[in-house]
Structure 1
Amino acid sequence: MKSQDIRSQFLSFFEEKKHSIVPSAPMVLKDDPTLMFVNSGMAPFKEYFLGHAQPKNNRIADSQKCLRVSGKHNDLEEVGYDTYHHTLFEMLGNWSFGDYFKKEAIAWAWELLTEVFKIDKDILYVTVFEGNEEDKLPMDTEAFELWSAFVDRDRILKGNKKDNFWEMGDQGPCGPCSEIHVDIRSAEEKAKIPGKDLVNQDHPQVVEIWNLVFMQYNRKANGSLEPLPNKHIDTGMGFERLCMVLQGVQSNYDTDVFTPIIREVEVITEKKYGVNEAEDVAIRVICDHVRAVAFSIADGQLPSNTGAGYVIRRILRRAVRYGFTFLDKKEPFIFRLVDVLSKKMGDAFPELKTQKQLIENVIKEEEQSFLRTLDQGLVLLNRIVEETSGNTVLGEKAFELYDTYGFPIDLTALILAEKGLHLDEKGFNEELQKQKNRSRAASEMSTDDWTILQQDDVEEFIGYDTLEATVKITRYRKVTSKKEGDMYQLVFNLTPFYPEGGGQVGDKGYLEDPHGDVVYVLDTKKENNVIIHFTKNLPKDVKQTFKAAVDGKQRYRTECNHTATHLLHQALREVLGSHVEQKGSLVRSKHLRFDFSHFSKLTTEELRDVENFVNARIEGRLPLIEKRNVPKEVAIADGALSLFGEKYGDTVRTIRFGSSMELCGGTHVKNTVYIWHFKIVSESAVASGIRRIEAITNDAVKDFYFDHDRVYFKMKEMLNNAQEPVKALHSLQEENSNLKKQIEVLLKDKAKNMKGELEAALTEINGIQFLAKKIDLDASGIKDLAFEMGSKFENLFLLFATEQDGKALLSCYISKPLVSEKGLNAGQVVRELGKYIQGGGGGQPFFATAGGKNPEGIAEALEAAKKFLI
């Protein structure tokens, strides 16, 4: 059975059981601070389990893209070395929100596996929760008895809290679970060891394929459990593992989910899968990782140096590293796998097809960048080797190479072994642990349970229509972090505060009680469909009524910038072409940032055309036409633009200014005239195929022009109030250029005159012509002089020093025969002598320089140079 058919049959089965089939949510999370990525099928539905929203249907089924590479669920290091762990995987799931429970979930799971998919009942095992004294929970006898109707009792195994009690996190919904395991070993292997002895023992052919979670408790901050108001079902079945079972193979990588990608790797690398274990691991790593990176980029998360972007960059670099080390690929090639991936999975996930060109370009550029890093790292590693005495490279040095330059530690160890050297792994791990401790301490945070003041099913946002409201606090909690200290999170029955989202920052403002006491709202965010207001202090009496007021000035400036991003999007599509799509934005009160897909730098004319287009719409006084609660399909049919990677509900809000129409939940000016003016301040590249424009509007534009006026008049004053300042500046530049040329001639003459004196000052030490002297030349002049003298003498050792602008410079030249015959190295010389001038440097074995901040140490450095020849 093909993988497409397996996925389709699963969804059809639950559709017949009256489940709504929903598409996979974007893998990159934007309104859940506890997660970077969707790491399980239930993550997109957290708001339903928490009771913060109601689903349209209480029964749902889907195939959800998941990524497990950070936090509690992190399978990254296992990927490639075994045959059943992945970074990205599909999780087939059926969900009940307060509807059916254990009886139906167990019966339907068994029916699907054994009657629809025809899996042999004799290779299946199930587990149930054995109970836990710490939580005072008994064994899940209900699940045990329900399974007994389908499975022999000796195939129903008891599992501990680690394996059979599923928790969202340290706090939140949780409950016992039943796992279904499959034993696909040969009959001979089964005869040796019973399958039940290998369940949850990390055996590659005895694996869990489905987990049925019975969500019935809430874990509180103090660790205690309380029953949830409603009981839910949350199931997750590993699609790749199910394909392995149904296609009768022994590895996920032998299924048609991966074989087309593996064949493409074989063609590109000329390596055969299944011949060499090290190469097989590398091929599995690459085939897995390209899926994770491609889906992430399609969902809007580009590789970067921070947060979720850093995780994606790390995954891709791991793939490049395995190709570099084990498949001998020293040029980009992973981007070439995107084509076969999009053909294989593009029907189920159309974003792979629509974003294919972008995904290929981003991956290719990232590959090129990291391969350059590897080249630089090899040079630095060779330098470390040169400086190492003995056969052990310090872990501290290897960590610096890893931490500062991104050079993989396993590659460092491999290269050192080839050179007959040993890596101080203990020292490296100590440095790595110190870094982790620093990072953990900086992000350490504790969250109290919510204190509920009143139940309110609907927390209404009224900020589109007003900036002030009379509110009550329905719940609050204290959050403590090392970075921010104590903060409070407040939830109101209704709120005018816009929560951060869609690129727009959250509102600030204040709460005022009837006595005039004020608590400032420092930020507003949305978490699992709940609007949370951040304050430094808690009001004196949280049960009274408050006046909630948004900072109107900041909101107004932010609205100007947000509306400008819509006009900018339209302008870019008009000027550059319809291929332009928004790839991210940041809307603050002082400026805006807009990322978009385009494959070349914008010309001056294009930037001017974009600016003029936006300003024409501002001058056109276009009114805001807003529609709320529009069915998503209707809005898109009417021409509204939607963004890839955004999660939209069944109904949406549309924003129109003239012919610009987008799905948007942010706040906007009532008329474009309020923007006043739009000014682009920079245009740059973010990644291959992604450009970034930063711009300003309104008051920021006025300040921009005021500053430019001030600079202009200051410059004019410095040019003696010239009538044509540009012409006067050109004259100064020309005069400066001529003077520089004259100085170069003078310095060369000076060096020639000095050459004879220096040659006469040479002394012989152990057959080597030696000179260490302070001279009055710049760095370029010193280098020319040294090489001229070197062309005359074959056994020359020079150390020249100079002082410029209060800093010291040492330059060392050593004749190449001395480098090869005597083992002298100019780089090592300047690194050691650089200590005297409180600096350092390096270079080639025959010429190197060092700079320092202590010119007073020059004399000692010159004197110490002799020791290299004695």
Structure 2
Amino acid sequence: MNSSELRQTFLDFFESKQHKIESSAPMVIKDDPTLMFTNAGMNQFKDIFLGNSPIKYNRIANSQKCLRVSGKHNDLEEVGHDTYHHTMFEMLGNWSFGDYFKKEAIDWAWELLVDVLKLPTDRLYASVFEGSEEDNMKRDDEAAAYWEKHLPTDHIINGNKKDNFWEMGDVGPCGPCSEIHIDLRSEDERKRIAGRDLINMDHPQVVEIWNLVFMQFNRKADGSLEALPHQHVDTGMGFERLCMAMQNKQSNYDTDVFQPIIQAIAKMSGKTYGENEEVDIALRVIADHIRTISFAITDSQLPSNNKAGYVIRRILRRAVRYGYTFLDLKEPFMYRLVEVLIEVMGKHFPELIKQRELIEKVVKEEENSFLRTLANGIKLLDQIIEKTKADDFKVVQGEVAFELYDTYGFPLDLTELILKENDLVVNRREFNEAMETQKNRSRSATAMETGDWIEILKDDKEEFVGYDYLSTDVKITRYRKMNIKGKDLFQLVFNITPFYGESGGQVGDTGYIEANGEKISIVDTKKETGLIIHITNELPSDPTCTFKAVVNAGKRELIANNHTATHLLHAALREVLGDHVEQKGSLVNPDHLRFDFSHFQKLSEEEIAKVEEIVNHKIRENAVTEIKNNIPMQQAVDLGAMALFGEKYGDLVRVVKLNESVELCGGTHVKATGQIGLFKITSEGAISAGVRRIEAITAVKAEKYINDKLNTLKEIERTFKSSQNLLKNIEALISENSEMKKGLEAFEKAQLKLVKNALKSEISETKGVNFISKKMNVKSAGDIKDIAFLLKTEVENLVFIAGADLDGKANLTIMFSDNLVKEYDLNAGAIVREAAKEIKGGGGGQAFFASAGGKDPQGIDAAISTAKKMILHKIEG
């Protein structure tokens, strides 16, 4: 059974058990600050498990895209080195929300695996939770009893808390679980060692394929457990591992999920899979990573230097580096694998087909960028190697290797590989210390701790009324304390709220709540696991009373202006540039709007002007905003609404219609477009290959922007004392300034030659070496360098030492003729570092040229003297 058939068999089976088949949620998490990526199938249902959202369907099944490369669940370093770990993988799952529980979950798992898929029963094992004294929990005898109907007792194994109590994170829904393992070893191996003895021992052929989680508890911040409002089932079966078992393979990578990609890479590189372990690891890494990167881009997560984008960039660069190092692929190659990936997975995930061009362009650009980084890193590493050998050292400082890694993106293992070829090593301890220091800085910058929720009203469900009302009476249903970077804040949840929680690119509302003469500011509003969270600096003295909640109406109006303008902008871009334009991200706040969209070239001035013209025309039409709440998804599509990739929609959606613009949107909007007043684009540029960004302003901000430009123009007219031929006058002034600049540069070069000639007249000679050492009066370090290189071409056997006071900062420069470096083992970098202590500074460079800076110009003469003594010591022996 091939992988496509196997996936469909799973979905069909659970559909026959009255499960609603859901599409995969995006891999990149939105509206949950505790998670960056979907790392398990249950993530999208977390709010249901917590009782924060109503249960729409009691039974659901799907194939969920998951990513485990950060946080508690991080498989990145194992990927490619073993046969069964992956960054992105599919989790086949079935869920029960307050419906069936352990019996049905176990019976149906057995029915699917044995009766439908025909897996051999003697190779299957089940584990059950053995209990935990720490949590005062006994063995899960109930699950064991159900398994005893299907398996002999020696195939039912007790599992510890680590293996058989599933927790998504340090806090949140959790419960005991029952894992199903399969033994894929040969008959001889199975006779030699029993499969039960290899369960959870990281054996590559004795692997877990399905985990049945019985979600019963919520782990609180203090570590204690509380019962969830309802009992749920959350199962997850590794699709790739199931393919391995069904296709009688010894590795996930040998299945039809990966082999077409692996063979394509092998063909590109001229390698053969299965002949060399290092090559095989590289092929597996790349085959795994191209899936992750491609699906991330379809979910609108582009590689970047921040958060989730940085993780994706890191994964891409890891793949490129394996290709560069072990497959000799020195040119972009990964983007060519997208076509193969589509052949394998495009049928079930049509977003890959729809966004193929974007994926290929983004990946290729990222490859080109990193290959340039590798080339630059190798040049820097060559200098480090040269200096280390010149200093007669065998170990490169860890801080130096970390700077290569952190500043230039050069991987440590590639650094170590190149150093090994030169009989050098990195001080790993120093590197790890530098890495840990950086991580601690990062943790401190983003540290957030939250306490447990304190419930006031248990049964009240939160309702958002902010589309229609900006103030209303509310009650606090729960609250908790949080600490961000050492500052205490509070999160409040109301039974009813007019405050819009940040989502869909729109920032959260601010305002206040008031009761009994006490006013508490709402400084931000977020969405989290089905709740609207109101953030305050203080807790009301009596949280149980009724409050008047008031949204900042002026800020909300400005946000609405920008949000509606974003919809008009999207429609205008599609009209001017074509239907390939799709939203890839947005930000809507009171001050401006930002809109990211797919397009493959810079917009011309004419295109920008046309887009502005269309949007402002729509504003002047004063079109009424039509909003349709809670309509079926198919009806919304029939109206012309576009579903954005990277978003998860429910069965009922909200549609915002502005003439030709029809979009699915939960944000706040103007009642009619005339309220926006004016729209002005302030910038347009690329943020990634195939993705452009427009920033714009509306209303009062746009008016001020234009008035400021007009006032600047008036000032220019006053300066030229004429508004006639203003452009020609400015061009003439620029031309005149350019000519004057050329003349000044020529004069400065002539002056430098005079200085050079004067220095030549001050040469002193020692043992055939020509010394020039002097404190100079120049304007910049560049001037000193230019003089040094001029002298080097004219003076043989040159030692040049120069100091200068550059605007209160000390500078020291040393240059040698190349022959002296070899003859006397001179190293300008080492000497300048030592001499720079006299000017309270530091520096470095190459063996023949180096410079240093310092904060004490009074020490320049001493620095020159120190350098000269060190050089004479070498020359005179």
Say if 1:757 and 1:174 are closer, same or farther in 2 by CA, change over 3 A.
Answer: closer
Q: Select which of 408, 411, 414 maps to 1:408.
A: 411
Give 2:646's aligned residue. Answer: 645
Q: How much has 1:801 moved relative to structure 2?
A: 4.2
Give 2:440's aligned residue. Answer: 437
Give 1:543's aligned residue. Answer: 544
Give 2:218's aligned residue. Answer: 218
1:728-767 pair list within 5 angstroms? 728-767=729-768
1:851-866 pair list within 5 angstroms? 851-852=853-854, 854-866=856-868
Give 1:324's aligned residue. Answer: 324
Give 1:689's aligned residue. Answer: 690
Stretches of structure 1 that go unaligned for 5 or more consecutive residues are none
1:43-442 pair list within 5 angstroms? 43-388=43-388, 389=391, 390-442=393-445
Q: How much has 1:849 moved relative to structure 2?
A: 4.7
Matched residues, number: 868
Give 1:662's aligned residue. Answer: 663
Query: Distance between the aligned counterparts of 1:711 and 1:155, measured in 2?
Result: 82
Query: Distance between the aligned counterparts of 1:790 and 1:175, measured in 2?
Result: 75
Q: Identity of paired residues, percent?
A: 58
Say if 1:216 and 1:393 are closer, same or farther in 2 by CA, change over 3 A.
Answer: same
Contact residue 62 and residue 93 of structure 1 kept, 8 A: yes
Give 1:704's aligned residue. Answer: 705
Q: Secondary structure at the match of 2:794?
A: coil
After alignment, is 857-866 or 323-332 more displaced? 857-866
Give 1:498's aligned residue. Answer: 500
Query: Distance between the aligned counterparts of 1:614 and 1:710, measured in 2?
Result: 25
Contact residue 335 and residue 363 of structure 2 kept, 8 A: yes
Q: Select which of 455, 465, 472 maps to 1:462.
A: 465
Say if 1:365 and 1:124 are closer, same or farther in 2 by CA, change over 3 A.
Answer: same
Q: Secondary structure at the match of 1:125?
A: strand
Give 2:511's aligned residue. Answer: 509
Which letter maps to 2:96? S
Contact residue 298 and residue 645 of structure 2 kept, 8 A: yes
Contact residue 27 and residue 37 of structure 1 kept, 8 A: yes
Q: Secondary structure at the match of 1:301?
A: coil
Give 1:589's aligned residue. Answer: 590
Cα offsets for 1:566-598 (capped at 9, x unmatched): 111111111111111110001110011111111
Query: Distance between the aligned counterparts of 1:418 and 1:789, measured in 2?
Result: 37
Q: Secondary structure at the match of 1:585?
A: strand
Say if 1:733 and 1:847 are closer, same or farther in 2 by CA, change over 3 A.
Answer: farther
Which letter maps to 2:429? K
Cα offsets for 1:446-491 (capped at 9, x unmatched): 32222221134532111111111111111111122335x2111111
After alignment, is 790-799 or 185-194 more displaced? 790-799
Q: How much has 1:724 moved relative to structure 2?
A: 5.9
Stretches of structure 2 that go unaligned for 5 or more consecutive residues are none
Give 2:677's aligned residue. Answer: 676
Give 1:486's aligned residue. Answer: 488
Query: Distance between the aligned counterparts of 1:321 and 1:687, measured in 2?
Result: 20
Matched, 1:450 2:450: no
Q: Secondary structure at the match of 1:643?
A: coil
The alignment's C-alpha RMSD in Å is: 2.1
Say if 1:752 and 1:19 are closer, same or farther in 2 by CA, change over 3 A.
Answer: closer
Q: Select which of 819, 822, 826 maps to 2:821.
A: 819
Contact residue 519 and residue 537 of structure 1 kept, 8 A: yes
Give 1:525's aligned residue. Answer: 526
Cα offsets for 1:135-154 (capped at 9, x unmatched): 11111111111110110011
After alignment, is 4-13 or 854-863 more displaced? 854-863
Query: Distance between the aligned counterparts of 2:375 and 2:268, measured in 1?
Result: 22
Contact residue 771 and residue 798 of structure 1 kept, 8 A: yes
Contact residue 472 and residue 492 of structure 1 kept, 8 A: yes
Matched, 1:579 2:588: no
Q: Secondary structure at the match of 2:23?
A: coil
1:803-818 pair list within 5 angstroms? 803-818=805-820
Contact residue 772 and residue 865 of structure 1 kept, 8 A: no
Q: Secondary structure at the match of 1:648?
A: coil
Matched, 1:616 2:650: no
Which letter maps to 1:647? K
Contact residue 722 and residue 728 of structure 1 kept, 8 A: no
Which letter maps to 1:358? L
**Could you tell me the TM-score, scaled by structure 1's length?**
0.96
Say if 1:746 and 1:527 are closer, same or farther in 2 by CA, change over 3 A.
Answer: closer
Query: Distance between the aligned counterparts of 1:239 and 1:33, measured in 2?
Result: 28
Contact residue 52 and residue 457 of structure 1 kept, 8 A: no
1:773-812 pair list within 5 angstroms? 773-777=774-778, 782-812=784-814
Say if 1:848 and 1:219 are closer, same or farther in 2 by CA, change over 3 A.
Answer: closer
Which letter maps to 2:737? N
Cα offsets for 1:787-819 (capped at 9, x unmatched): 443333332222344455444554444323333
Q: How much has 1:396 moved relative to structure 2?
A: 2.2
Q: How much has 1:212 moved relative to structure 2?
A: 0.6
Which letter maps to 2:242? L
Say if 1:804 and 1:733 are closer, same or farther in 2 by CA, change over 3 A.
Answer: farther
Q: Secondary structure at the match of 1:305?
A: coil
Q: How much has 1:613 moved relative to structure 2?
A: 1.6
Query: Distance between the aligned counterparts of 1:208 and 1:264, measured in 2?
Result: 29
Say if 1:802 and 1:435 are closer, same or farther in 2 by CA, change over 3 A.
Answer: closer
Which letter maps to 1:622? A
Q: How much has 1:854 moved relative to structure 2?
A: 4.5
Which letter maps to 1:269? S
Q: How much has 1:776 moved relative to structure 2?
A: 4.5
Which letter maps to 2:112? L
Cα offsets for 1:250-281 (capped at 9, x unmatched): 00000000000000110111111111111111
Say if 1:795 and 1:244 are closer, same or farther in 2 by CA, change over 3 A.
Answer: same
After alignment, is 92-101 or 597-606 more displaced? 597-606
Query: Distance between the aligned counterparts of 1:801 and 1:347, measured in 2?
Result: 69
Query: Distance between the aligned counterparts of 2:169 and 2:791, measured in 1?
Result: 71
Contact residue 94 and residue 234 of structure 2 kept, 8 A: yes
Cα offsets for 1:662-706 (capped at 9, x unmatched): 111000111111111111111121111111111111121133234
Query: Distance between the aligned counterparts of 1:612 and 1:327, measured in 2?
Result: 52
Cα offsets for 1:203-238 (capped at 9, x unmatched): 000000001111122222332222223211110000
